C-alpha cells in the first residue's frame, strides 16, 4: 500500500477507524471522511500528520461528496482505493407496519444513495486524472461495506437489510462491468460483516440480540473490527486480489440461515 491513496468514509466510526489505521500502518496516504464525530480521529492525525487528512463530508449531500473527493485528490492525488463504509442503523426493532416513510427514506439516503454518489465520484476522478498516465498497471479498487443483513435479511430492520441487499446484488454486479471501461483492471468488491463489536452494534450486543445469530455460526463468536479491516486490505491490492471483482466476501464466522447449535449462552 506504500504510496497508494486510500479514502475511507465513516472513518471516525468503529470499523472505519480500524480500517484507516491498518492502511496507514501499511504505508498508504489516507483520506479520512467523517460526518459529525471527529474526536476519535485525533490519535491518527497526530501519529501520521503527513499521510492522513480528515474532511467532514455529509455523504448524502451530492455537492459535499463532489467537493470531498476533489479536496482529497488535491491533497494526495488519484484515489486508488475507495472504501465506502459509513452507514446508519436504527437500533430499535421496528416492524414494517410501524416503520415511518421518513426512516425508510433516511436509511436509503445514507446507506444506498450516498454509495452511488461516492462510487460515481470515484469513477469521475479516475476518468479525470488518468487521461495523462499509463492506466494498464494502475491499482484501482472500490470496496463497499455490506452486511449479513443484505444476504439473510433482518426482521424489524427491513430498511437496513434492503439497502445492503441492493449493494450486494444489482449495484456491485453492474458496476464491475462499467469500471473496466475507465481502467482495464479496475475492480469493485464488497466486504460484508456479520455482528461486529462497534458503537453501532454495542446496544444490541449488550441486550444479547446477537445470540440468535451466534447459534447459526460454527465459529461461535462475533467479528472484531480487525477481521473486517483485514478483508478490506485483501481486496485493496491487485497483488492479493487482482483477479477478484464483483465478489461479496462474507466476514461472518461461517453463518448459515439455520441454527447449528443450541447450548445456553447466558
Ligand X SMILES: NC(=O)c1ccc[n+]([C@@H]2O[C@H](COP(=O)([O-])OP(=O)(O)OC[C@H]3O[C@@H](n4cnc5c(N)ncnc54)[C@H](OP(=O)(O)O)[C@@H]3O)[C@@H](O)[C@H]2O)c1
Residue ranges in contact with ligand X by CB under 6 A: 10, 12-16, 34-37, 58-60, 85-88, 110, 145, 147, 193, 195-196, 198-201
**Distance (Å, rounded) from C-alpha 72 to C-alpha 55?**
8
Q: Which is nearer to ligand X, 9 or 238 (CB)?
A: 9
Q: How far is CA 196 from CA 42, 49, 76, 208, 250, in A?
A: 23, 29, 31, 13, 12
- How many CB atoms are located within 10 Å of the residue 219 CB? 12
Q: Cβ 60 to ligand X, closest distance in Å?
A: 5
Q: Which is nearer to ligand X, 14 or 253 (CB)?
A: 14
Q: Which is nearer to ligand X, 85 or 216 (CB)?
A: 85
Q: Cβ 243 to ligand X, closest distance in Å?
A: 25
- How many CB atoms are located within 10 Å of the residue 103 CB? 17
Q: Cβ 159 to ligand X, closest distance in Å?
A: 12
Measure CA of the first residue to CA of the last residue in the chain; give whole Å.
43
Q: Which is nearer to ligand X, 126 or 223 (CB)?
A: 223
Q: Which is nearer to ligand X, 40 or 130 (CB)?
A: 40
**Distance (Å, rounded) from C-alpha 119 to C-alpha 179?**
10
Q: Cβ 47 to ligand X, closest distance in Å?
A: 19
Run of H or E residues at 197: none
Q: What is the DSSP letter of 81?
A: E
Q: How many residues does the chain have?
A: 266
**Distance (Å, rounded) from C-alpha 199 to C-alpha 82?**
23
Amino acid at each position: 500500500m506504500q504510496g497508494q491513496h486510500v479514502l475511507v468514509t465513516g472513518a471516525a466510526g468503529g470499523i472505519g477507524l480500524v480500517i484507516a489505521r491498518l492502511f496507514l500502518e501499511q504505508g498508504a496516504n489516507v483520506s479520512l471522511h467523517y460526518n459529525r464525530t471527529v474526536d476519535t480521529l485525533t490519535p491518527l492525525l497526530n501519529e501520521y500528520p503527513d499521510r492522513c487528512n480528515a474532511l467532514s463530508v455529509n455523504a448524502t449531500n451530492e455537492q459535499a461528496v463532489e467537493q470531498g473527493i476533489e479536496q482529497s485528490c488535491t491533497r494526495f492525488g488519484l484515489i486508488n482505493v475507495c472504501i465506502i463504509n459509513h452507514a446508519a442503523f436504527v437500533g430499535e426493532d421496528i416492524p414494517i407496519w410501524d416503520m415511518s416513510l421518513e426512516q425508510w427514506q433516511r436509511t436509503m439516503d445514507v446507506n444506498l444513495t450516498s454509495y452511488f454518489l461516492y462510487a460515481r465520484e470515484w469513477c469521475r476522478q479516475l476518468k479525470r486524472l488518468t487521461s495523462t498516465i499509463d492506466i494498464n498497471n494502475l491499482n484501482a479498487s472500490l470496496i463497499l461495506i455490506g452486511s449479513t443483513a443484505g444476504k439473510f435479511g433482518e426482521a424489524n430492520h427491513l430498511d437496513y437489510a434492503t439497502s445492503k441487499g441492493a449493494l450486494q446484488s444489482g449495484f456491485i454486479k453492474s458496476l464491475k462491468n462499467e469500471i473496466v471501461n475507465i481502467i482495464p483492471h479496475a475492480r469493485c468488491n464488497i466486504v460484508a460483516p456479520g455482528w461486529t463489536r462497534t458503537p453501532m452494534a454495542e446496544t444490541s450486543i449488550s441486550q444479547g440480540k446477537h445470540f440468535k445469530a451466534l447459534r447459526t455460526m460454527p465459529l461461535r463468536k462475533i467479528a472484531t473490527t480487525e477481521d473486517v479491516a483485514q478483508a478490506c486490505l485483501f481486496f485493496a491490492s491487485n497483488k492479493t486480489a487482482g483477479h477478484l471483482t464483483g465478489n461479496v466476501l462474507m466476514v461472518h464466522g461461517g453463518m448459515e440461515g439455520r441454527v447449528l447449535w443450541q447450548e445456553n449462552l447466558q
